[in-house]
Structure 1
Amino acid sequence: MTGKIEARLTELGITLPDAPAPAANYVPFVQVGDLVHISGQISSDENGLITGKLGADLDTAAGAAAASRCALSLLAQAKAACGGDLDRVVRLVKLVGFVNSTADFTEQPKVVNGASDLMVEVLGDAGRHARSAVSAASLPLGVAVEIEAIFQIQ
């Protein structure tokens, strides 16, 4: 039987990627009580890494699309943390978004909206969350966006 979140993903035409494996000496998520802390997920799609600096190489819309891809990886990690059952997600508690941007770029919140909007679209009210959206002078491998998350699960 398909759960309601999986059904919502199908309705939206969204296929989650495989949960990315860690690239260094860390784990993809840690559960403490009913909270799952998911390590930062970098912007990538079926063609590979989404790289570039907002305000120089990419515009805000491209950054928001990259953030949306981070959100898909966060959901894939949440699914892995929940033993494959996304319906165990009670709510998304917090997102922290890092945007690779020039010193004068100020639309980090609009970029991270790409992830926030997707979470609400998929999870409904359970996807409404606290959030930080900050600039970074550089991100790993030159990616445009990296986002970490905290989910409450049952």
Structure 2
Amino acid sequence: MTGSRQEATTAVGDALQRYQRSVQAYDDAAGRRLGVGPTDLRCLDWLVDEPRTAGQLASATGLRPAATTALIDRLERKGLVERVRSATDRRHVLVQMTDAGRAATWEVYRPLVDEGAALLDRLTVDDLERVSGLLDDLRELTDRLRARLETR
């Protein structure tokens, strides 16, 4: 028997909340395994894609410049990141993950990637495109509402 649209919408919201809590708990465990705090882990997440400036990391983590410098110093001491000169503008210093940092974070997150891929294999291309679109829409929504919170 099919429930109402409101029941289905509530079920999706509840499932998203449970998923968000589960991801947060996984990230907390990953941080403990890596010996870093939540903000340090968030910084590493931002560095997975590409090197970033300290200013970009400060914006991404919500830290003030001095706290961002302390965060980078902590991660550098652990051998997870390094400061390098920008290849395009030698005046800029970038922070990038070291090979050891990539290996350590990959060890922690690889099971999610591997086992998550098996879950996604159950979906059709159309399903995957709908899920991807929904996730992008949800991210845009939270980014917009976060910006509103920050300006108040």
Q: TM-score range by the shorter chain?
A: under 0.3
Per the normalisation by structure 1, the TM-score is 0.26
Which structure has the highest strand share of the two? Answer: 1
Which structure has the highest helix share of the two? Answer: 2
Per the normalisation by structure 2, the TM-score is 0.26
Q: Which has the larger radius of gyration?
A: 2
Greater relative contact order structure (CA < 8 Å, 6+ sep): 1
